[in-house]
Structure formats: C-alpha cells, structure tokens
Amino acid sequence: MTHSIENTHENNKESYMETFQEYDSDTMELADWANGEMFGCRWSPENVSFSFEGLRLTIAQDEKGELTGGEWRTRESFGFGKYEVSMKPIKNTGVVSSFFTYTGPSDGTQWDEIDIEFLGYDTTKVQFNYFINGVGNHEYLYDLGFDASEAFHTYGFEWRNDFITWFVDGEPVHTVTEDIPSTPSKIMMNVWPGTGVDEWLGPYDGTIPLVAEYQQISYLP
C-alpha cells in the first residue's frame, strides 16, 4: 500500500502516511505552474517521480533550457498534530529542499505555514520557520552535527494551539510558543533554485540535475 488514511477515535481526526510508491491523483497533487519572485523556476510534474524507494524531486531544465523544480502536496488539509518526513536534501549552493505545511489565498484562507528547509550550501544545518497570516521572520537555523544529504534522517514538528516543537530523529530541538498558526494546511514538499536571494541561499551555480529523496511522510493528530 502506498498510502493510508485512518480515523483515530480519540479526536475523530484522520492520521496519514505516504510512502510514495505511485502517484494517486485522489490524494496528491503535483504543481505545474510558476510561483515567481524568489523561485527561480517553474514547477514541472515531470520532476516528481515515484518508486518503491520513495519520492524524488528534481531541479532540471526543460526543452527550452528553462529551469524547472518539483513540488508535491496533499489534496487534503490537516490541523494540529505531529508531522514527520524521512528525507535526504540536495547539497548545492543556491537551492532549497523542503517539507512544510501551507495554506493561503489559493485555498481560500489566510497564509499560514510551518517550514523545515534545507539550504543547499550547508546541509549540516536545517532551517525552521513559520508564518501566521503572511507574517514570518521566525527563522531558526539548527546545527545538525551531520550532513543531511548523506543519509536519510527523520525531521518533523508537533503543532498545537499553543506551541510548535521541531524534532530531528525524534529529539526535540526547537520550540516556539507565540503567534502560532491555526488554519488547517496541506502537507507539501518542493525543491527549487533561488533568484535574487543570494544573501540567504548563496548563488545558484546552474548545476543540473539535482535530486532530493523522500522515503516517507506521516501525520498523527
């Protein structure tokens, strides 16, 4: 089974797990548009691949020589709970590999978001961030003590109405307790080269293809 959604009796919400063995249009969506601004690519469904080994998101070029990235998301929205991913990010200056929850105007809601982001110029660190009604600037850079691009590790966060705690391999490493987002959100992952944000990501050097790997994601209420 590639994915499962189960009802949990204690709070009548659904748990979710995905191992990415195949594409299921009923439960997931692949982006095929361009965000613009700091995203130096358009999203291409061709840059998202599924297998028994998991999901691969790729930065590449299309037939016109334009840069493309890969983005995956759930169709369903999820609320408070614990979110986890097993992944290996891209190691390359100027790019981002991510796991996050997001909802915004395209979903008919305010912009709320909780992020786990790897900045490819230094994959011995991971950046945590969150947005409430479009207001961010809560970045926290955590030193992992290992190179995340070399092996799969588990990253996640527990999101409640009064706190968010981020985890690395099951250990809590960062907690916030103010201005916590509350809008149910979609689970998302993407990889992309930055443009105009060299001070944050470093300059993208044009290397292609670049691949991030994801083994599994999960949500528990």
- The domain in which residue 127 lies consists of 3-220
**pLDDT classification of 91: cutoffs 50, 70, 90:** very high
Q: Is 49 exposed, middle or buried (0-12, 13-18, 19+ CB in 10 A)?
A: middle
Q: Which pLDDT score, from 0 to 100, does residue 11 have?
A: 38
**pLDDT classification of 14: cutoffs 50, 70, 90:** confident
Please answer whether residues 192 and 41 qualify as being in contact, where contact means their C-beta atoms are separated by less than 8 angstroms.
yes
User: What does the block give as tokens for 212?
Assistant: 């991030």
Which positions are annotated as active-site residues? Answer: 113, 117
Residues in the chain: 221
**pLDDT classification of 3: cutoffs 50, 70, 90:** low
**Long-range own/partner contacts, residues 27-31 (CB < 8 A, 24 or more apart):** 27/3, 27/74, 27/75, 27/76, 28/72, 28/73, 28/74, 28/75, 29/72, 29/73, 29/74, 29/75, 30/70, 30/71, 30/72, 31/71, 31/72, 31/73, 31/190
Nearest to 77 by CA among 116, 124, 113, 34: 113
* pLDDT higher than 60, residue 219: yes
- Which pairing describes strands 3-8 and 13-18: parallel, antiparallel, or unpaired? antiparallel
Q: Taking all residues of the chain, what is their mean pLDDT, rounded to a whole number?
A: 94
Summarize pLDDT for 176-216 with one digit per residue, the tens: 999 999 999 999 999 999 999 999 999 999 999 999 999 99
Please state which of the ranges 33-42, 123-132, 185-194 shows the lowest mean pLDDT: 33-42
Give the total number of structural domains in the chain.
1
Q: How far apart are CA 41 and CA 132, in angstroms?
A: 26
Nearest to 35 by CA among 207, 198, 201, 196: 196
Q: Which pLDDT score, from 0 to 100, does residue 5 have?
A: 53
> What's the whole-model pTM score?
0.93
Q: Which pLDDT score, from 0 to 100, does residue 4 have?
A: 58
For position 144, which CATH number holds?
A: 2.60.120.200
Q: Which pLDDT score, from 0 to 100, does residue 36 have?
A: 85
